[in-house]
Amino acid sequence: MSETYTPTARTRVAREADRGVYDRAAAYEILDEGFICHVGFVADGQPFVIPTGYGRIGDNLYIHGSAASRMLRNLDRGVAVCVTVTLLDGLVLARSIFNHSMNYRSVVVLGTAVAVNDPAEKLEALHRLSEHILPGRWAESRQPNERELKATLVMRLPIAEFSAKVRQGPPIDDEEDYAFPTWAGVIPLRMVVGNPIDDPRLMPGQEVPKYAREYSRKR
Amino acid sequence: MSETYTPTARTRVAREADRGVYDRAAAYEILDEGFICHVGFVADGQPFVIPTGYGRIGDNLYIHGSAASRMLRNLDRGVAVCVTVTLLDGLVLARSIFNHSMNYRSVVVLGTAVAVNDPAEKLEALHRLSEHILPGRWAESRQPNERELKATLVMRLPIAEFSAKVRQGPPIDDEEDYAFPTWAGVIPLRMVVGNPIDDPRLMPGQEVPKYAREYSRKR
């Protein structure tokens, strides 16, 4: 896990090269904190970018959806994909407009996703996807049946060609701008959880479980 | 603004068609609340998905970046792009694993982005981008100079072919699952702002401005 990855020409961070991170463990930390990815694929020459959940098992990413979905039907043909995960940490206010920035952590994975046909791997991937998004939930839910498993397509994307990009910390202004009379610094941003909302058809006596009440993406 | 848009075969929401939104005003509300998009483009047959800021002026989206960036150099050639904006509102916990979902609002815009060469439009787009992300900041910053404007590429994407998808509300379980003994409902998620952090090199006497202290994406 502490291996340093050698980027390809396609994944080397070309601009702001100091923000490039090629450590597999660092990339996995970002992938494990996020749970929404944006999947890019091409259909009839047009790129599409679709948000979806994901899970990670070892060096593979798993995404899932309806066997009928346009996105996954295309992936099933084995087209090239790009999966991007972005965590936004703050707005960076420099003195100059030009040096304004954002603090963020992102990972880009390039490759070809393939359909998971083995029933055991498929169930394990769905379990991981569920636990990745909300640990503890799987065991307390009604398990998938045969019909539902058939209606679900699971795709595996090896995390082989990837890059991560990280920007943190205060603004970096041009030296002569530090005398410009304006406030500068960082506005931190983070995702928080509100109070769980009971389903209007909740069975009497069902209390909000701890994993819902104390949900957090901090890992 | 209240016009109803007729989707193309590429933007019609095929699955969960009840989640499709083709009202331009509704799509613009989502675009105006978000400020990070994921831009998809193709280079050498490989799709790339890159997070970046954006702004909207009327029926155009603007994105910007270094004239040297791989992403914008590719867009400049006039390749097809997809810009996707996703706002995550909550986790939806159904009784069955299969019916778990998320509450979200997303917009997908397809088209061809072109470089903005007119200096007045370029400056207006940069102003809008800045005000879109942080209203009030532009006027209090050191304005862009000629060198910086030259180093910045601004791209315009007409919001002509688009779709929005919205899911809100409680879980929808299969009728027979409502008797399954588990908690069900929604865990709301939202982005919040922390206390602004002064730049370590802040000029004495510069106070955190109101637009930073009270920053919110609610529109």
Q: In this predicted complex, what is the ipTM?
A: 0.92
A162 has a chain B CB within 8 A of its CB? no
Does some domain include residue B135? yes
| Domain enclosing residue A69, as ranges | 17-170+207-213
- pLDDT of A1 reads 37
Residue B61 in this model has a pLDDT that exceeds 60: yes
DSSP annotation of B16 reads: S
Domain containing residue B133: CATH number: 2.30.110.10
Q: Is residue A141 part of a domain?
A: yes
d(CA B64, CA B122): 10
What Rg value do the Cα atoms of chain B yield, rounded?
20
Q: Is residue A1 a part of any domain in this protein?
A: no
Whose tokens are 């406030």? That residue is A183
pLDDT value for A145 = 96
| B86 assigned to some structural domain | yes
Distance CA B93, CA B102 (A): 8
Cα-atom radius of gyration of chain A, to the nearest Å? 20
Q: Tokens for B39, please give them.
A: 């831009």
Q: Which pair of tokens denotes residue B165?
A: 């998808």
Give the pLDDT confidence score for residue B75 in this predicted structure.
Answer: 67
Q: Which two tokens stand for residue A97?
A: 């407009």
Residue A101 within a domain? yes
Among the residues of A24-135, which ranges form H helices? 24-33, 70-76, 119-133
User: What is the number of CB-based contacts under 8 A between chain A and chain B?
Assistant: 282
Count of domains in chain B?
A: 1
Residue in chain A lying closest to B151 (CA): A98
- The pLDDT, as a whole number, for residue B2 is 44
Q: Indicate the residue of B108, B199, B215 with minimum beta-carbon distance to A49.
A: B108
Give the rounded distance of the alpha carbon of B62 from its chain centre: 11
Q: Would the CB atoms of B40 and A48 count as touching at under 8 Å?
A: yes
- pLDDT given for residue B67 in this prediction: 67
- Residue from A1, A2, A11, A132 nearest A61 by CA: A132
What confidence tier does B27 reach under pLDDT thresholds 50, 70, 90?
very high
Contacts of A215 in chain B (CB under 8 A): 91, 187
pLDDT at position B49 over 80 = yes
pLDDT of res. A2:
44
Residues 16-35, chain B, touching A (beta carbon < 8 A)? none
Q: In sequence order, which ranges of B10-142 are alpha helices (DSSP H)?
A: 24-33, 70-76, 119-133
Q: Do B189 and A188 touch (CB under 8 A)?
A: no
Instruction: Please count the residues of chain A.
Output: 219
Query: With an 8 Å Cβ cutoff, is B109 touching chain A?
Result: no
The average pLDDT across B5-25 equals 73
Question: Does the pLDDT at position B108 exceed 60?
Answer: yes
Mean pLDDT of B134-159: 95
pLDDT surpasses 80 at B38: yes
Residue ranges of chain A whose pLDDT lies below 70? 1-5, 14-17, 67-68, 70-72, 74-77, 219
How many Å apart are CA B51 and CA B34, to the nearest integer? Answer: 12
B193–A209 CB contact, under 8 Å: no
Asked if A37 and B51 count as a contact pair (C-beta separation under 8 A), the reply is: no
State the Cα–Cα distance between residues B51 and B38, nearest whole angstrom: 4
Q: What is the pTM of this model?
A: 0.92
Q: Over 50: is that where the pLDDT of B1 sits?
A: no
- pLDDT at site A5: 63
Q: B133, A91: Cβ pair inside 8 Å?
A: yes
C-alpha to C-alpha distance for A82 and A42, rounded to whole angstroms: 10
Please indicate whether residue B72 or residue A160 has the higher confidence score (pLDDT).
Answer: A160
d(CA B30, CA B76): 26
> Average pLDDT for residues B107-131, to the nearest whole number?
95
Q: Do A197 and B148 touch (CB under 8 A)?
A: no
B136-148 mean pLDDT: 97
Residues A170 and B199 sit within 8 Å (Cβ to Cβ): yes
Higher pLDDT, A206 or B15: A206
Residues of B in contact with A177 (CB under 8 A): 142
- Residue A86 vs residue B4, higher pLDDT: A86
A55/B83 Cα distance (integer angstroms): 24
Mean pLDDT of B95-110: 97
A134 occurs within a structural domain: yes
CA A144 to chain B, closest CA, distance in angstroms equals 6
pLDDT (0 to 100) of residue B192 = 93
Given CB atoms, is B12 within the 8 Å cutoff of chain A?
A: no
- Which tokens is B149 given? 């404007």
In a domain, A192, yes or no: no
Chain A touched by B160 (CB under 8 Å):
no
- B159 in any annotated domain: yes
Nearest CA in chain A to B176: A142
Confidence band (pLDDT; 50, 70, 90) for B59? very high
Contacts of B175 (CB under 8 A, 6+ apart): none
Residue type, B110: L
B89 vs A218, more confident: B89
pLDDT at A195 (0 to 100): 96
Taking CA–CA distances from A94, the nearest residue in chain B reads B141
What gap in Å lies between CA A89 and CA A101, rounded to an integer? 11
Mean pLDDT, residues B88-105: 97
pLDDT of residue B15: 61
